[in-house]
Amino acid sequence: MSHRQHFAAIAPQACDAEGVTTRIAPASPAGLAAQYERGDFFFATARRVLLAQGAVESVTSTDPEILADTVTGALASGAAPLAVGVLPFDTSPGTVTPGHLVLPRAVLHAGQGDRSLPREVLPRPVSVTAVPSPERHMAAVRDAVDALRARGMRKVVLARALDLDFDEPIRPERIVRNLASDNPRHYTYAAALPSTRTLVGATPELLLSREGSHVVSHPHAGSMPRFADPVADKASGDALLASKKDQIEHAAAAEAVVERLRPFCRKLTVPDGPELVSTPTIWHLRTTITGELIDFDITALHLAAALHPTPAICGTPTDAARALVTELEPYDRAYYAGAVGWVDADGDGEWAVAIRCAEVAESSMRLYAGGGIVEASDPRLELDETTTKFQTLLRAMGLPDLI
């Protein structure tokens, strides 16, 4: 039986009888972070902050093309100035996890500015479970390397999860506020999922932005840890730039983004090689790809759906890598390594890669972290890389020493 729905479910929301979105006067970035509540959509970038509340309509489909077309139609009717939401990791035929967008009841914007708020305190978990165990993850990396060779594949991205249980409710608001002040140059996000869970995270990686005819994507791939000692820190960044293994891993991601953008663009600008960038916890290789669109009817959401999943979070070739992820990871990624963002009635929008994140339930949460595996990958270093990647969330929760 196919789980694919060849339609999008459009649900008018009963609580919003008037079906009109209110735009509220510009607020301060810190003010919007302070206002965010579970159930809202929050998206903070280096340039602006968006807070969307309530829903006049929601659009849900397992087919990303149908989702994008349906959202475009709903926005054209003028019900709301923009739509916000998530795409799952698996958007292939047969996926069980739908993309989900809402046309919000209220949209609040803020421009650049200070967004630091008093540090929020979160509880300590009563139990921590690694899924799979660190040993099993290293074994999966070894299996992945064997499979890459046996199947003639270039790269696969393997992730692991961390399940935390608490003896009191978790307030995602607090995590979001800490993430937003820790990561002012990146994309801090919170999105209500079709389950009652909330996806929260702070990612450095832009899948796609569209502003008029101008499109930008910056795939990240290749990672090394940051260090408190400036000499060790610089050496780690330099080692990343010089690492052949990481350059190979990166090239797979950058080349795929260029290939997938090419049919949509009359001009594409691609630098000769990647640059070194950092988050507070990790160094990355990044390529910034810019283009000029041929057809203005292609929205940011259509483009994001066409690019996703990139080899930065899946692998190369895509279908074989996705199948290997399903074979080797003992859980369904759901929205981890999906995309999160917004699209407006002009087709403009921003979609970030949904990594460095957690799915937050009532009193439990699951954190995810993955890394690209190529033939030269070392299982121990890959395990350490995922440990470093968990730090974005763990620091925001005041738990830097948890694992």
Ligand X SMILES: C=C(O[C@@H]1C=C(C(=O)O)C=C[C@H]1O)C(=O)O
From candidates 104, 201, 274, 372, binder to ligand X by CB under 6 A: 372
Q: Of the two residues 95 and 223, which places its CB atom closer to ligand X in the complex?
A: 223
State yes or no: residue 355 binds ligand X (CB under 6 A). Answer: yes
Q: Of the two residues 82 and 158, which places its CB atom closer to ligand X in the complex?
A: 158
Q: Is 155 a catalytic residue?
A: yes
Give yes or no for a contact between 370 and 158, defined as CB atoms under 8 angstroms apart: yes
Pairing of strands 22-24, 106-110: parallel
In our burial notation (b when 16+ CB lie closer than 10 A, e otherwise), range 122-160 reads: bbebeeeebbbebeebbebbebbbebbeeeebbbbbbbb
Catalytic residue among 57, 173, 205, 249: 205
State yes or no: residue 220 binds ligand X (CB under 6 A). Answer: yes
State yes or no: residue 369 binds ligand X (CB under 6 A). Answer: yes
DSSP 384: H
Q: Of the two residues 30 and 175, which places its CB atom closer to ligand X in the complex?
A: 175
- Report, in Å, the least distance between residue 78 CB and ligand X: 37
Question: Dihedral of the CA atoms 342, 194, 192, 340 (nearest 10)?
Answer: -30
Q: Is 244 a catalytic residue?
A: no
From candidates 199, 215, 313, 325, binder to ligand X by CB under 6 A: 313
Beta strands in 317-363 (DSSP E): 338-344, 349-354, 357-360
From candidates 82, 108, 144, 157, binder to ligand X by CB under 6 A: 157
Q: Of the two residues 237 and 347, which places its CB atom closer to ligand X in the complex?
A: 237
Pairing of strands 155-165, 187-192: unpaired
State yes or no: residue 154 binds ligand X (CB under 6 A). Answer: no
Give yes or no for a contact between 239 and 224, defined as CB atoms under 8 angstroms apart: yes
Q: Binding pattern to ligand X, positions 47-86, x when CB under 6 A?
A: ----------------------------------------
- Report, in Å, the least distance between residue 246 CB and ligand X: 7
Binding piece for ligand X, criterion CB under 6 A, among 73-81, 193-201, 232-240, 369-377: 369-377
Pairing of strands 99-103, 338-344: unpaired
Q: Which two tokens stand for residue 347?
A: 């087709």
Catalytic residue among 37, 65, 120, 155: 155
Helices H / strands E in the chain, number of each: 9, 24
Binding piece for ligand X, criterion CB under 6 A, among 22-30, 44-52, 118-126, 366-374: 366-374
Query: In angstroms, rounded to a whole number, what is the distance separating the alpha carbons of residues 7 and 70?
Result: 9
State yes or no: residue 159 binds ligand X (CB under 6 A). Answer: yes
In our burial notation (b when 16+ CB lie closer than 10 A, e otherwise), range 343-381 reads: bbbebbbbbbbbbbbbbbbeebbbbbbbbbbbeebebee
Q: Residue 247 in 3-state DSSP?
A: helix
Q: Which two tokens stand for residue 287?
A: 């390529």
Q: Of the two residues 99 and 371, which places its CB atom closer to ligand X in the complex?
A: 371
Q: Of the two residues 190 and 313, which places its CB atom closer to ligand X in the complex?
A: 313
Pairing of strands 106-110, 49-53: antiparallel
State yes or no: residue 90 binds ligand X (CB under 6 A). Answer: no
Q: Give the count of residues interacting with ligand X (CB under 6 A).
A: 19
Give yes or no for a contact between 128 and 360, defined as CB atoms under 8 angstroms apart: no
State yes or no: residue 379 binds ligand X (CB under 6 A). Answer: no
- Report, in Å, the least distance between residue 15 CB and ligand X: 35
Q: Of the two residues 141 and 399, which places its CB atom closer to ligand X in the complex?
A: 141
- Report, in Å, the least distance between residue 267 CB and ligand X: 25
- Report, in Å, the least distance between residue 330 CB and ligand X: 16
Q: Where does this chain bind ligand X (CB under 6 A)?
A: 157, 159, 205, 220-223, 284, 312-313, 337, 355-356, 368-372, 389
Q: Which residues are annotated as catalytic? A: 155, 205
